[in-house]
Chain A
Amino acid sequence: MKIKENLDSYLKYVSNWEEKIGSFLEFDISRTKGMSTVEGQLAGIPFGVKDNFAVEGFNITCGSKILEGVSAPYTATSVAKLQAAGAVVVGKTNLDAFGMGSSTDNSAFKITNNPWDTNRVAGGSSGGSAAAVAAGIVPFALGSDTGGSVRQPASFCGVYGLKPTYGVVSRYGLTAYASSLDVVGVVARTVEMTKTVFDTMKGQDIKDNTSVSHPGSRNNGDVKKIAVLKIEDGSLSDDVAKSYLESRKLLEKLGYDIVEIELPSLEYVVPVYYTIATAEASANLARYNGLRYGYRSKNGNDPGEIMQTSRDEGFGDEVKLRILLGTYVLRSGFQDQFYHKAQKIRTAIRNEFDKIFELADLIMMPVFPTAAFKHGSKDLDPFQQKVADRYTCAANLTGLPALAIPSSIENGLPVGVQFTAPAFEEDRLFNIAKVLEKDFPSPLAPGTKNWSII
């Protein structure tokens, strides 16, 4: 059914699903309509944007009380490029505050549920974006990925999740969490849509000095040899282990040259990641002080006191935990033990990946050790959720592109698998994903439907 000709039924569909999953913090199909061109490769395609991107006409809360009601004064470059290609922003999606979390339960505003099972999380931190795409509300949505925040929710919801090479998509207008790790990512229903959105957004931007132009693939994105990460017994849930093994068998059946590898440095990626990410976060989040914009506490008599009370009342628990950790590892006397050490191990991790890419075109590994878990930390407490980031945060530490691909349904829940490529080799990821999509396309959650776009 076409959205354009059936606007009323589309809106009814959206409100029906939104009641169940709560993927959007704001939804309004007409608010930014005039900002999109009427022609272009993405003309008329609605999309959602994670609420840590600036989009003129909408708020930018980052899922935190400290930015409640703050309206975006301008539009992020990534979003503006999509608007220039005709795509229309229909709303801002829910997230773990400032991108910090794996469940979207750390949002100050609402709970987002997984369209496959509303007792379960949609993943995070881009949980709203993944849930909205999986529920068929939008064919794609933007997310940010600092340690897996696009790939893990995509995997939990049965859709594609791309983390591009560091620097390839401009971050102008994306709220900074950890500057050496953050990238703009894509959640989408099909490989073709993922690629089109990425190709539209990529490129150097004068407004972001960490952005680079994309040189293109060195080998036309050809994939022949795939390094498959050996998984130790007990590191994955039975469902994910089964799905992972089947993905490997499928690659063999399709004629790819498979080589099994180990990545000893994976043992260190999570501590290294959380040391660096929290250190950078503590600096980036120092700007929220209640004086110039956002939440200002009524407790306190002078600016210094108001800063402290506004931050204590405005930030949620997880954000405070990460600011404290980051401040601690940067404190004089502790820097060598934590931050500097982590930066050096980061080099060792990069070297290990580089070595594998001397003998293989791609690396296959899991996305997350489990399928979507239940709300309220019943299955995985917040600490265990962090430890479980081991397969995703390596791509952020190395800057390499990675794609989460739906691989199977296990006990009613989608499971995904992840491919990592050398820098700027996104085309290799799209090529393998297109091959696998023929065998297993993004599955439709029960009761959802695929709207034809124009």
Chain B
Amino acid sequence: MKLDELYITARLAKLDLGEKEAEKLSVEVSRMLEYFAVMEKVDVAGLDATVQTLDRGNITRSDVVSSLDVTGRILANAPETEDRFIIIPKVL
């Protein structure tokens, strides 16, 4: 994979890669993609895609209110908070 392709992919993946890191990763990503190329020779005509293996439809449940009072414990994991708000740098 060319370095500019890697940077485009990294931007989509929200990864701010350093130069050295990008060079190293581009070698490793390329090695995997070359390996993936073996899939090209497989004839998949007439085959559907497998997206999951349970072979069943949607599961639904009734819309019943239930409470799992963990808000405080979840907020406790935030890097910075004020009252019940998570502080982040300004957006605009």
Contact = CB atoms under 8 A, between A and B. Distances in A.
- The answer to whether A binds B is yes
Interface of A: 70-71, 73-74, 166-167, 180, 206, 209-210, 212, 267-268, 270-272, 274-275, 282, 286, 289-296, 300-303, 305-309, 311-312, 315, 317, 320-321, 323-325, 327-329, 331, 337-338, 340-348, 350, 382-383, 386-387, 397-399, 423
A383 B70 CA distance: 41
A293 B79 contact: yes
Given A312-B15, A383-B31, A398-B53, A306 B89 contact: yes
A185 to B, nearest CB: 16
A303 B86 CA distance: 12
A344 B9 contact: no
Interface in B1-29: 1, 5-6, 9-10, 12-18, 21, 24-25, 28-29
Contacts of A399: 52-54
Among B36, B48, B51, B77, residue most surrounded by chain A Cβ atoms (within 10 Å): B36
A308 B33 CA distance: 24
A70 B15 contact: no
Given A311-B15, A325-B29, A347 B47 contact: yes
Nearest to B49: A343
Nearest to B89: A302
A321 B89 contact: no
A411 to B, nearest CB: 30
B65 interface: no
Contacts of A292: 77-78, 86
Given A268-B42, A320-B15, A350-B50, A275 B9 contact: no
A302 B91 contact: yes
Contacts of A289: 14
A323 B13 CA distance: 7
Interface of B is mostly: loop
A308 B42 contact: no
Contact of B32 (A274, A315, A344, A346): A274
Contact of A267 (B24, B31, B38): B38
Interface in B24-64: 24-25, 28-29, 31-33, 35-36, 38-40, 42, 44, 47-54, 56, 59, 61
B14 A308 contact: yes
A324 B15 CA distance: 9
A73 B88 contact: no
A222 B13 CA distance: 48
Contacts of B38: 267-268, 271
Contact of A325 (B5, B32, B52): B32
B15 A308 contact: yes
A301 B90 CA distance: 8
Contact of B56 (A212, A307, A323, A343): A212
B44 A302 contact: no
Query: Which 3 A/B pairs are nearest by Cβ-Cβ distance?
Result: A399-B53, A343-B49, A308-B16
Given A312-B17, A331-B12, A348-B47, A324 B25 contact: yes
Given A307-B14, A344-B49, 6 more contacts: A271-B39, A317-B24, A321-B32, A323-B15, A345-B39, A347-B48
Contacts of B13: 282, 286, 311, 323-324, 327
Contacts of B56: 212
B33 A328 contact: yes
A210 B52 contact: yes
A138 B35 CA distance: 39
A342 B35 CA distance: 13
B73 A73 contact: yes
Interface string B73-87: 110111110000010
Nearest to A272: B39
B3 to A, nearest CB: 12
B69 to A, nearest CB: 10
A354 to B, nearest CB: 11
A408 to B, nearest CB: 31
Contact of B77 (A71, A272, A306, A308): A71
B9 A327 contact: yes
